[in-house]
Structure 1
Amino acid sequence: MTRSLTALCIALSFLMLAGCKGDPATPEYWESGIQQSRRAEDRIRMVEAMRSSGKMDERFLPMLHGQLGTERKPEVRAALARALGDLKHASSVEPLTKALDPAAGDMPAQLANKAIVATLGAIGDRRAIPALVPLLRAKDNYTRIEAVQVLGDMKAKEAVEPLITLATDDTVEPFLNKKAIEALGDIGDGRAAPALVRMLTKERKGKSFYVESSFALYQLGAPAADALLQALEGQDADLLKWARSNGVNPASYAMKAATVLGDLREKRAVATLLKQLAFTNTDPQIQALVRMQAADALARMRAQEAVKPLAGLVSETDATVRDSYVSALVRLGGRDALPALEKAAGTGDWYARELAVKGIAMLGDARELPLLQKLAAAEPARTAADCKQAEDEGCDDAAALGKQRADQIAGQSKLLEAAQACGGNAGCWVQRMEKAEPRMLERAALEVGRSGAAEHAGALASRLGERDTEARLALVLAVGWLVEGSQDVAKKLREASLPTMRKQLADEQGNTRFVSVNEDLRRLVTTLDRP
């Protein structure tokens, strides 16, 4: 016997024992049962049985409103609110808001408030907003979090100022700050931009607010770009003063503002970002991070002016840093960086050399096949030299390791051969995507995205579930580039692909493997959601 059927049978048995008669399909039947139940738990059982009966419809609304208005026990009010949430009728807004208890001090009353707010959210009627905004100052976090969520879902501009206060309040739990930031992003009001820019670098109790703030700024769009440009260029005097008083390194904004501006494809930032590729700092790590974030932002914007300075940076021998520059050049496309990548492929340790080889394979064509063969032939000697300097993994048999690495280099030739066969033909690259291994899929996606061939956006979107994160990121970027150039593409993907993308994000929530790349997927979903 199912739980709902069991509850219904218990309630009906209780009614028969109480001598109640009538038709269970009528509100009067259940009203009589509720009123005859002296104990709160019995009234709750009656309400839950009514919900499970399948009989509830709009005829029940006046009865439920009346019961909600006269019920003294908060646990029962919560049950009645849930019942009204099943019906989701606009006429329930007034009785629900009257049933709120802003001064609730005990747990049952607070949970009743939470249930009422949730039902108001389910109804979605904006007339509830004036009653919900004061709950942002409620004593309990249950009600506050629910109110934050509902006001965000309603895009309640009336709540922006109190939400800004809550988002930046150092006296509340960080989780509540985060929820307020998310709500501000959902509302999308430009007044929140300065506070959200500050929260990019804020940390409390070991918690960072960067992920929530950067996404909220992305949701704001143009107003956020205006604020971020000032932060990037160091022209926001109030922000600089706040940063100093909070011990925030101003270079943090050069990094984090650059990232969001890259996400927004804000071309006004290009000149400043180009300057940041030459950023200097006494701390080598800060210097590298600012340059790396500038490189990433410029690549997302497909700023071709960045190719020459980036090519000058790939001589960097630190593999992590070189990876940023090579990845940026790969996304920008073209052959101009190939000479610098050829030189870099002979310098640094194996991991740095391998990145340069990847760059050659992702940007070149058959003309680079002799170069690839030359690099493969030279690799065993380079590996042997590496092993003399440092005992890396596998160095117990340096000859075997050198051959393995040489084979890896030679294996990149298939990418060059595909480039020779396809050239700038996007349709050819789409065909190469079928059953492609990750690196071929990555190059094919970027080639199609850069081509502007909007008719292939659906083919790219159909592969967004790719498990390899580098290939998935290339697909997300490529779809985004095609969407930027065509409202028709955005409309078609909104209809055909958006539900699948949302389901993928929900299914993969909490999966650490995809947490970073799925931030880019979230932004693509937000872009498609925009009218």
Structure 2
Amino acid sequence: MSRLLAATSLTLVLLLSGCKVDPGSPEYWEKTLGKARRAQDKVRVLETLRGSGKLNASFLPFLHGQLASDQKPEVKASVARALADVKNPASVEPLGNAVDLTATDSASNQLNKELASALGEIGDPKAVPMLMKLLKARDNYTRIEAVEALGRMRVKEAVEPLMALATDESAELFLNKKAIEALGRIGDARAVPTLMRMLTKERRGVSFYVESSFSLFQLGQPASDALLAVLEGKDTELSGWAHRNGINPASYSFKAAQLLGDLREHRADAALLKQLEFKHEDPRIQAIVRTRAADALARMRSTAAVKPLAALVSEPDAGVRGEYTYALARLGGRDAVPALEKAAGLGDWYAREAALEALTMLGDAREMPVLEKLAAAEPAKTAAECEALGGEGCGDPVALGKKRVETIARHGKRLEAAKACGTDTGCWVKKLEDADKGVVARAAMEVGRGKAAAHVGALLARMTEKDPGTRMALILGAEWLVEDAKDAAALARNALPTLEKQLTEEKSSTEYVRANEDLRRLVARLQRQKT
């Protein structure tokens, strides 16, 4: 194989070196291409041209001619990629003429895919009719390129066919998902009913929630109106559809709550506060509706939620309690501190720690004696807990108790930081560099609450933070500044290329899925304001 590659490279060098024309001219490359006989050699010449830095609009007649005359799909595909690099509207017609809608072989399908991609890269309205035709291509990858192109170009005429594709149960799942994403980019209110249904739709165990929820977020106000109607039980059409399809109405309640929180829809405050009291015979459904309402109220920073949430923090289930205490940590202030102090001494270790974490996110030096008492009582609590569990999962109760005391001390570092910084935002900015991730998380929220636009860069600079929880706090702080501080959004937009690149690079990383969904929404807000 190495000998074959060496021979091929030598052939290409000889081809290039044999030309006496200016190597920056179309004539040079046309002659070079003319000397190549095999399709793979022609492709290498064209790919070399693409990487040469010489490619510009002066090459269009040569490339258009090659696209029309060459018989090999793989060569045409390489020409299409070159034309995509130039991005000139004059290429739309030649690219469209090269499409073969009857293609069945893999090489021709690949060519159609590259043609669709090139038309999308050029982004000229004249490409729309052909892209619409390519939505019905036989090859799924060609269809994906057409879908993505129409989404990027925000083509209103594509809304109806994309809605049909999004719900087409005979289509591949990834095509459904791509159509949903494209509808979000286009931002047409006609897509709202389709996206609302796809929030809870599943096929072959695959959910469309992530794509549908983000697309609804991108639609903004029309989505808010629809979600609010669902939350208030006023969308009879959707509830009827859900009933006919065997979907529990509660699933729409908590999903609508989540999205309304993302959209900062304060018209939902009263309904969300009511959902904190939601009751259901299935405790799991009751818990998820209540906790999603808590999360939404925290996202909207609804201070009216502090009192009812504080009443819930003695919840025995550690996971549920953690949702309530995390909501209170984000809402800020000291009103919930007494309830959190009490909850930090109740329940199993994980439930106690959830309250302890929120307590140290909100408290200051005044809570240091509380932590000392909790630490002093922890060995006995651990021993009693281990005895009640029959020793299961405890190992050495004494060692475990000691480890938990150390954990309490680690949480206490946030109180030490609060004692040092108080309300001094500049001091909290310095704490963003602290070695303790808990201190960084609190600092991020304190900087976010400080409403000083100049500090948004310090938060965004740390978005590659490895700990997911700390990263979420940094995102929250940046979001708050963008929402509250006049010039923060303009400053944050300077970081858009870096943030967009990070989201692309971490797309397949399961570790940051939750945090990066929030980062993705922040990026979308900044992009929206930019346009």
* TM-score, scaled to structure 1: 0.91
Tell me the alpha carbon deviations over residues 263-315 of structure 1, each in whole angstroms, 9 at most, x when there is no partner: 11111111111111011111110110011111011001100000111011111
RMSD: 2.8
Q: Provide the rounded CA distance (Å) in 1 between the counterparts of 2:33 and 2:419.
A: 78
Q: Provide the rounded CA distance (Å) in 1 between the counterparts of 2:8 and 2:48.
A: 5
Contact 1:121 1:150 in 2 (8 A): yes
Change in CA separation of 1:53 and 1:433 when aligned onto 2, cut-off 3 Å: closer
Q: Does 1:491 align with 2:490?
A: yes
Q: What does residue 88 of structure 1 align with?
A: 87
Q: What does residue 510 of structure 1 align with?
A: 508
Contact 2:386 2:392 in 1 (8 A): no
Q: Provide the rounded CA distance (Å) in 2 between the counterparts of 1:491 and 1:15.
A: 48
Q: How far 1:416 sits from its partner (Å)?
A: 2.3
Q: What does residue 438 of structure 1 align with?
A: 437
- The worse-fitting range, judged by mean Cα deviation, of 298-307 and 455-464 is 455-464
Contact 1:8 1:53 in 2 (8 A): no
Contact 2:452 2:485 in 1 (8 A): no
Q: What does residue 11 of structure 2 align with?
A: 10
Q: Provide the rounded CA distance (Å) in 2 between the counterparts of 1:36 and 1:406.
A: 77
Q: How far 1:330 sits from its partner (Å)?
A: 0.6
Q: Percent identity?
A: 59
Please give the secondary structure, in 2, of the residue aligned with 1:336.
coil
Letter in 2 for 1:124: G
- Trace 1:54-203 onto structure 2 (pairs within 5 A): 56-203=55-202
Q: Provide the rounded CA distance (Å) in 1 between the counterparts of 2:23 and 2:407.
A: 74
Q: Does 1:523 align with 2:517?
A: no
* Gap regions ≥5 residues in structure 2: none
Contact 1:387 1:398 in 2 (8 A): yes
Contact 1:5 1:52 in 2 (8 A): no
Q: Size of the alignment, in residue pairs? A: 528
Q: Provide the rounded CA distance (Å) in 1 between the counterparts of 2:39 and 2:333.
A: 73
Letter in 1 for 2:357: K
Q: What does residue 453 of structure 2 align with?
A: 454
Change in CA separation of 1:50 and 1:364 when aligned onto 2, cut-off 3 Å: closer
Q: Provide the rounded CA distance (Å) in 2 between the counterparts of 1:46 and 1:461.
A: 42
Change in CA separation of 1:312 and 1:105 when aligned onto 2, cut-off 3 Å: same
Q: What does residue 208 of structure 2 align with?
A: 209
Q: Provide the rounded CA distance (Å) in 2 between the counterparts of 1:51 and 1:400.
A: 64
Q: Provide the rounded CA distance (Å) in 2 between the counterparts of 1:498 and 1:42.
A: 40
Letter in 1 for 2:475: V
Q: Provide the rounded CA distance (Å) in 2 between the counterparts of 1:241 and 1:436.
A: 53
Please give the secondary structure, in 2, of the residue aligned with 1:514.
helix
Q: Provide the rounded CA distance (Å) in 1 between the counterparts of 2:134 and 2:319.
A: 47
Q: Provide the rounded CA distance (Å) in 2 between the counterparts of 1:315 and 1:328.
A: 14
Contact 2:15 2:36 in 1 (8 A): no
Q: Does 1:276 align with 2:275?
A: yes
- The worse-fitting range, judged by mean Cα deviation, of 201-210 and 504-513 is 504-513
Contact 1:366 1:416 in 2 (8 A): yes
Tell me the alpha carbon deviations over residues 498-520 of structure 1, each in whole angstroms, 9 at most, x when there is no partner: 23322322332322211211111
Q: Provide the rounded CA distance (Å) in 2 between the counterparts of 1:344 and 1:513.
A: 29
Letter in 2 for 1:470: G
Contact 1:322 1:352 in 2 (8 A): yes
Q: Does 1:240 align with 2:239?
A: yes
Q: How far 1:38 sits from its partner (Å)?
A: 7.4
Please give the secondary structure, in 2, of the residue aligned with 1:395.
coil
Q: How far 1:170 sits from its partner (Å)?
A: 0.8
Contact 2:448 2:480 in 1 (8 A): yes
- The worse-fitting range, judged by mean Cα deviation, of 70-79 and 384-393 is 70-79
- Trace 1:391-402 onto structure 2 (pairs within 5 A): 391-392=390-391, 395-402=394-401
Tell me the alpha carbon deviations over residues 233-285 of structure 1, each in whole angstroms, 9 at most, x when there is no partner: 22212211221222211111111111111111111111111111011111110
Tell me the alpha carbon deviations over residues 124-178 of structure 1, each in whole angstroms, 9 at most, x when there is no partner: 2222112101211211102101111111121222211111111111110111111
- Trace 1:422-433 onto structure 2 (pairs within 5 A): 422-433=421-432
Q: How far 1:486 sits from its partner (Å)?
A: 3.1
Letter in 1 for 2:199: L
Q: Does 1:364 align with 2:363?
A: yes
Tell me the alpha carbon deviations over residues 63-110 of structure 1, each in whole angstroms, 9 at most, x when there is no partner: 322332344443333233223233322211111112212232332222
Q: Provide the rounded CA distance (Å) in 2 between the counterparts of 1:465 and 1:364.
A: 27
Q: Provide the rounded CA distance (Å) in 1 between the counterparts of 2:420 and 2:192.
A: 48
Q: What does residue 352 of structure 1 align with?
A: 351
Q: Provide the rounded CA distance (Å) in 2 between the counterparts of 1:527 and 1:184.
A: 17
